[in-house]
Amino acid sequence: MPAMNEATRNLADTEADTRPGRRIDVVSLYPKDMNIYGDWGNVLTVMRRLSLYGYDPVLHEYNQGDPWPEHVDLILGGGGQDNGQKKITDDLFARADTLRALAADGVPMLMICGLYQLFGEYFETVDGTRLDGIGILGAYTVGREHRMIGNLVEHSEEFGDIIGYENHSGQTFLTGDTKPLGRVDADGTGNNGTDHTEGARFGNVIGTYMHGSVLPKNPRLADGLIRIAAERRFGAFSPQQDEQQSTELRRIDDFAQHARVVAASRPR
C-alpha cells in the first residue's frame, strides 16, 4: 500500500513539532489487516481536518504485537475480510481491557464493518466459525450467503444523512442499550436487511457498515469525533485557523458535498 506509507510518513513528521494544548493522538487500529474499500481515507480525513482546525495530530498505527501508545484521543478501525478478522482476534483480546477502559472513559472510536463486528459480542461467519468479539457494543453478527452490497444513505439524528457504501455478509442485530447509528429506508440494507437499523452507538463508540470511505463524505461525522476528542483532552474544541486553512476546509467540504450527491444518486 504505497499511498498509505507515503501519507503516514508525512503525518508522522509532525510528531516532533506538537505544541502544548494542540496535540491530538489518533490511533489507526490494525491498518495492515483491517483496511479495505478505502477505509484508510478515514484516517487521512481526521488527520487533515485536525490540522486545518489548527491542532497537531499525531498518528499511531497499531498492528498486532505493537506497543500500545502512551496517550490516545481517538481510535479509527476499518473493515476486513473474514480471514483478516481471524488474524487479529488474539491481539484484539490482548488489548480488550485497554479498549474497554478507553471506551468507558469516553474516548471517541469509529469502527467500520469487520471491526464493528468484532467490537460486538460475536461474529459467526458463513462457514459456521464463531469469532468472539470484545463486547464494547451490544451487537451480534451472523454470516449469510447473501452479501449486502451497495451505496447507502442512512438518517442519523445527530449527524444528518450519512452516506457510504456497504459490503458485508454478516447480519448484525443490536442488543441492550446500544442504539443504531441511523435508520435506512429500504429492506435488504443496513445492519441486517430487516429492521432498518444501520450501525451502532454506545457512549462515544460508533460502529457502522459504511465504507466509502465514510469520513471524507461525511464531514459532520468526522467533526463530531474530532470535537469529542478535543473536548476530552483540552476541555473545549477551539479551532485556530488562518485564512488559508479556512479556505482549504471549505474546498474539502465542497468536494464532500459533490461526492455525497453522486453516491446518493447511484444505484446499488
The binding site for substrate comprises: 147
Of 99-158, binders to ligand GLN (CB under 6 A) are 113-114
Catalytic residue selected from 60, 168, 196, 211: 211
d(CA 159, CA 174): 20
Count residues near ligand GLN (CB under 6 A).
12
113 is a catalytic site residue: yes
For ligand GLN, the closer of residues 169 and 241 by Cβ is: 169
Contacting range for ligand GLN; rule: CB under 6 A; set: 25-33, 102-110, 162-170, 185-193: 162-170
For ligand GLN, the closer of residues 8 and 141 by Cβ is: 141
Nearest position to ligand GLN, beta carbon: 79
Determine contact, residues 148/170, Cβ cutoff 8 Å.
no
d(CA 94, CA 85): 14
Contacting range for ligand GLN; rule: CB under 6 A; set: 151-159, 163-171, 180-188, 212-220: 163-171
**Interaction of residue 164 with ligand GLN, rule CB under 6 A:** no
For ligand GLN, the closer of residues 77 and 224 by Cβ is: 77
Name the one residue in this structure whose C-alpha cell is 461525511.
218
211 is a catalytic site residue: yes
Binding mask 51-90 for ligand GLN (x = CB under 6 A): ----------------------------xxxx--x-----
For ligand GLN, the closer of residues 116 and 202 by Cβ is: 116
Residue of 64, 167, 241, 245 interacting with ligand GLN (CB under 6 A) = 167
Catalytic residue selected from 113, 155, 196, 258: 113
> Which residues are known to be catalytic?
113, 211
The contact set with ligand GLN (CB under 6 A) reads 36, 79-82, 85, 113-114, 167-170
